Amino acid sequence: MNKLMKRLPVLAFVLAAASALAFNMPAQDEQTTVYGLTYDEENNEVWHPVDPDREGTDFQCNAAMSTCLYSSASTSSTPIKPGEFEALP
């Protein structure tokens, strides 16, 4: 019984540390850069990093049956928004 009483503070500390790690979810950063795809004269891919909150100012997504914005500069990445990407001047 004395051994248990001596180890009780250590056991309480370990339990508190495990609980703190288990119940605190790290905050997920909202993605601030997405990528739009256009093609140049030779039909090469041209990726445009854009802020999704700047739609209508820096770019627009026209109605089309394609993907306007991607999560990274790759067509195999996660599609973010449908449409056809158009960079604005």
Tens-digit pLDDT profile for the chain (89 aa)? Answer: 777 778 888 888 888 888 877 776 655 555 578 999 999 999 999 999 999 888 889 999 998 889 999 999 999 999 999 999 999 98
Average pLDDT, the chain: 85
CA–CA distance, 27 with 21 (Å, rounded to integer): 13
CA–CA distance, 9 with 66 (Å, rounded to integer): 61
CA–CA distance, 21 with 29 (Å, rounded to integer): 19
3-state SS of 54-88 is: HECCCEEEEEEEEEEEECCCCCCCCEEEEEEEEEC
> Per-residue b/e over 51-65, b at no fewer than 16 CB within 10 Å?
ebeebeeebebeeee
